[in-house]
Chains A and B, each alone.
Chain A
Amino acid sequence: MARMKFICDSERCIECNGCVTACKNEHEVPWGVNRRRVVTLNDGVPGEKSISVACMHCSDAPCMAVCPTNTFYRTEEGVVLHDKDTCIGCGYCSYACPFGAPQFPAAGTFGVRGKMDKCTFCAGGPEANGSQAEFEKYGRNRLAEGKLPACAEMCSTKALLAGDGDVVADIFRNRVVKRGKGAEVWGWGTAYGSKQAGQPNGAKS
C-alpha cells in the first residue's frame, strides 16, 4: 500500500464548497472550526483558480517536528493524526503548518485556545475504530469503514482526489494528458517533496 494523499485539481475546482460542507457534516465539526476550506487565487480576475485546502498529511510533517508534547503520529498509510488527550493547545503546529490546517476551537470567555483539531483523512484518532469516543474527538473513521474521505467522495467535479497516492496520481496524470494543460498540483511539492510535485523547473507549489 502506498501512502494516502490528497490532490486538488485547480482546473476543475468551482469553489462550490461542497467539500467543506461534507466535512463539517460528516464529523460534526463545531462552529469556528473548518478542517477544510476553499481558497480562491486572483478572485474576480479572469482565470481565477480555486483550491480546496486541508491537512495534506505531509511526508515530513512540520507539525510533528515542532509539537512539544509529541502528540502527532503517522499511521502506516501515511496519515498524520494526533492525540487530543495530550494536546496542550500551544499552537506551535499552527505556526509550522504551511497549509494552515490546525484549527483551534475558541471556547470560553477569553477565547482560550482549545485542543487542536484538523483533518484526519477521515481516519479518526487513537481511540477504538468507530467508537463514540473517537467520533466525539475526531469525527467519523471512514477509512476503517472501507471508504475514502467524505470531501473527495462528495466533490461534484472530482477536483479533489483522495486515496492511495499512486492511484490518484494516475487519475490526475490521465486528466492532464487528455486536456493538455494544468499539470501543476498545488501543494504537492510542499507536502510530499518537490521531486513528486510535477512542477515546472523553478516553479513554487
Chain B
Amino acid sequence: MKTILVLSVAVLTLAACAEREQTASGIKSDAAPFQGTNRQFMAKGWKPGDRNSWEQELKVRTVQGQNDYVKVP
C-alpha cells in the first residue's frame, strides 16, 4: 500500500517535468481575400466568393481612388 502511494505521488510530481505538447504547426492556411468577411463593412460592388468581381472591384477602386488624372482632365 505504501509503495503504491509513493509511486503515485512520484508519478504525479514528475508529470510536471514532462515536455509540454507542441501543437504549433508551421504555416496555417489562410482564406483567400476574395472569400470576403461576414462583417458589415464590406465594399459594395462585388460578390464575396467571386474572384473576378473582387479583382474588378479593387481595380476600379485603385483607378478611381488613386489616379487623380481621371478626376481632373
A binding-site residues for B, Cβ under 8 Å: 1, 70-71, 73, 75-77, 81, 83, 85-86, 123-126, 128-130, 141, 143-148, 152-153, 158, 161-164, 167-168, 171, 174-175, 178
Contact = CB atoms under 8 A, between A and B. Distances in A.
A144 B37 contact: yes
Q: Which of A70, A130, A144, A147 has the most CB of B within 10 A?
A: A144
Given A130-B38, A143-B33, A171 B43 contact: no
Interface residues of B, number: 35
Interface of B: 24-39, 41-43, 45-46, 51, 54-55, 57-59, 61-63, 65-69
Nearest to B35: A129
A130 B39 contact: yes
Nearest to B53: A146
A167 B63 contact: yes
Contacts of A164: 55, 58-59, 62
A135 to B, nearest CB: 10
B31 A129 contact: yes
A1 B45 CA distance: 18
Contacts of A175: 69
B39 A126 contact: no
A148 B62 contact: yes
Counting from the closest, the 10 A-B pairs by CB-CB distance are A130-B37, A146-B43, A126-B28, A163-B62, A143-B33, A144-B33, A171-B67, A73-B27, A130-B39, A129-B37
B72 to A, nearest CB: 11
